[in-house]
Amino acid sequence: MLLSEIKFLVLKDIKLEFKQRYAINGILLYVVSTIFVSYLSFAKIIDPATWNSLFWIIMLFAAVNAVSKSFVQESTSRQLYYYTLTSPQAIILSKMIYNFVLMGVLSLLCLLVFTALMGEFVVNYPLFISALLLGSFGFASSLTMISAIASRTNNNFALMAILSFPVVMPLLLILMKVSAAALSVGTVAGNMKFLAALFMLNAIVVAMSYILFPYLWRD
Amino acid sequence: MYNFLKNNWWKLLGVLFILYSIIAGFLIDIPEVQGNIGQSMRNLFFHVVMWFAMMVMFGTSLVRSLRYLSTFDIKQDVYAIQTVNVGLFFGVLGIITGMEWANFTWGTPWTNDPQLNGAAITILAYFAYLVLRRSIDEENKRARIAAVYNIFAFVMLIVFVGILPKLSSGSLHPGAGGSPSTVNSLDFAMRLVFYPAIAGWIIVGYWLTGIRVKMDFIRQHLDNPE
């Protein structure tokens, strides 16, 4: 029951996206131009530590921008319509899955463009990509929940940043640690405890959203 | 007089505990410690205590928020916000006393240390909570959404403060392994001051909360007297 609802809602979001073509294109352009700006201003950077922090800062801002419109894109009356049709749990889980797909595409593209412009620093690709995907899911899930909170307030976009930065900071710090390892001599096995911590963090966020979202949804 | 004492003995107890901890905190002999901590270890009675009081306040606020979501009683929400206010007061005092100590011991008020960053992020999250509340006008909606953020942020911060320092390799901060003066190795005389100090500040924290809650109810009553 819940699964089929989620499936329909995710497909609905993807179809909506392909019809409008505005969110995904906008956010891709945002990432590419941010990377280009940093390419121009840094000229040529070149130590792995700078590469790493710049990459994750760009990812953080791209994620906040990409996810922040999850709940404001559709009108209140249409949300009311969904309210009568589905359970709130299906809504939040489907938004998370959709945002995860979006963030996954976004982060791989970001890696591609960033490597092309700023130089190739990643040594251990399996480790880096697994951190990137776990990070995409973490960003997607926690920011979806925060955007649900922010969408209920009067100034959604300013609050999105204020509310989300403290909450995603644990995630971001672990991610930067893993990816720093992937830029030097780290191995997947050696960083297992960080990957496990990322996984745990994601599980906690999903569980909390599952429990708390119904209180946000009823209005 | 008898009735006054009967109703307010715990406030008196809190004040006495704090006075005792300040006086004894400066007077008792403390053991010699290796390194440059030395006499600055007395900050245990002032700085560390603030964090304990802050965490108890934020924990209480979490319980109030949970109770709000299960009963939808607006009174719980007033308690939740006022405990956060008092907790933030302790948090800011904790940061100030910590920076003063760090400036003396480490030579710089702030270093990139998991414990310090955890404290800073905690305080940022609760200031964000205050901003969130300001941006919603309708009372019941504000209470509900703020409660959700309060619970969400508290759990994430427990993860941050509890798990992250264990994953990172070594912290300069006392109490984080590898450095002297952990709470477990306190000598008996210091414990005799440390625990009453914690109790005293927590009691005064609850007292402050109570006063602020009453102020809030009076203000609401003045705004719309039925």
Q: How much is the ipTM here? A: 0.87
Answer yes or no: is B185 within a domain: yes
Range of the domain at B203: 43-217
Interchain proximity A162–B131, CB inside 8 Å: yes
Q: Are A195 and A178 in contact (CB under 8 A)?
A: yes
- Closest to B98 measured CA to CA, from B26, B169, B44, B36: B44
The better pLDDT of the pair A17, B72 is held by B72
Q: Which of A149, A177, A201 sits opposite B149 (nearest CB)?
A: A149
User: For chain B, how many helices (H) and strands (E)?
Assistant: 7, 0
Residue A195 has pLDDT above 80, yes or no: yes
Interchain proximity A212–B152, CB inside 8 Å: yes
Residues with pLDDT less than 50, chain B: 177-181
Q: Are B174 and B113 in contact (CB under 8 A)?
A: no
Q: Which of B148, B155, B168 sits opposite A215 (nearest CB)?
A: B148
Residues of chain B found within 8 Å of residue A162, distances taken between Cβ atoms: 128, 131-132
Residue A93 has pLDDT above 80, yes or no: yes
Range of the domain at A28: 2-217
List Cβ neighbours of B209 (8 Å cut-off, separation of 6 or more).
B57, B60, B79, B82, B83, B85, B86
* DSSP single-letter state for residue B178: S
**Residue B226 has what pLDDT?**
66
Residue A186 has pLDDT above 80, yes or no: no
pLDDT, tens digit, for every residue of A134-183?
999 999 999 999 998 988 887 777 888 889 988 888 889 889 888 988 88
The better pLDDT of the pair A23, B180 is held by A23
SS3 content of chain A, % helix, strand, coil (to 5): 80, 0, 20
Q: How far is A170 from chain B (nearest CA, A)?
A: 5
Q: Which of A153, A170, A173 sits opposite B135 (nearest CB)?
A: A153
- Closest to A65 measured CA to CA, from A24, A15, A36: A24
**Residue B205 has what pLDDT?**
93
Q: How far is B116 from chain A (nearest CA, A)?
A: 13
Q: Are B135 and A155 in contact (CB under 8 A)?
A: yes
pLDDT, tens digit, for every residue of B102-155?
888 888 888 877 778 888 888 999 999 999 999 988 888 999 999 999 999 898
Whether A142 contacts chain B with CB within 8 A: yes
Residues of chain A found within 8 Å of residue B141, distances taken between Cβ atoms: 152, 219
Q: Are A68 and A160 in contact (CB under 8 A)?
A: yes
**Residue B179 has what pLDDT?**
45
**Residue B93 has what pLDDT?**
93
Q: How far is A121 from chain B (nearest CA, A)?
A: 23
Answer yes or no: is B121 within a domain: yes
Residue A19 has pLDDT above 90, yes or no: no
Whether A174 contacts chain B with CB within 8 A: yes
For residues A176-201, give the mean pLDDT. 85
Which residue in B121, B126, B138, B148 has the most chain A C-beta atoms within 10 A of its own C-beta, making it the best mutation to test that interface? Answer: B148
**Residue B180 has what pLDDT?**
45
Q: Which of A173, A174, A212 sits opposite B151 (nearest CB)?
A: A212
For residues A183-197, give the mean pLDDT. 83
CB pairs under 8 A between A and B: 78
Whether A129 contacts chain B with CB within 8 A: no
What gap in Å lies between CA A157 and CA A150, rounded to an integer? 8
Interchain proximity B152–A167, CB inside 8 Å: yes
* DSSP single-letter state for residue B168: S
Maximum pairwise Cα distance, chain B: 65
Q: How many domains does chain A have?
A: 1
Q: Are A168 and A201 in contact (CB under 8 A)?
A: no
Interchain proximity A194–B167, CB inside 8 Å: yes
Percent of chain A predicted with pLDDT > 70: 98
Answer yes or no: is B7 within a domain: no
- The number of beta carbons lying within 10 Å of the beta carbon of residue A174 is 28
The whole-chain average pLDDT of chain A stands at: 86
List Cβ neighbours of B141 (8 Å cut-off, separation of 6 or more).
A152, A219
Interchain proximity A204–B159, CB inside 8 Å: yes
Q: How many domains does chain B have?
A: 1
For the record, the structure tokens of A23 come out as: 């969110």
Interchain proximity A204–B151, CB inside 8 Å: no
Instruction: Give the residue numbers in B contacting A (CB under 8 Å), as ranges.
Output: 69, 117, 121-122, 124-125, 128, 131-132, 135-137, 141, 144-145, 147-149, 151-153, 155-157, 159-160, 163-164, 167-168
Q: Are A154 and B136 in contact (CB under 8 A)?
A: yes
Answer yes or no: is B30 within a domain: no
Answer yes or no: is B135 within a domain: yes
Residues of chain B found within 8 Å of residue A142, distances taken between Cβ atoms: 156
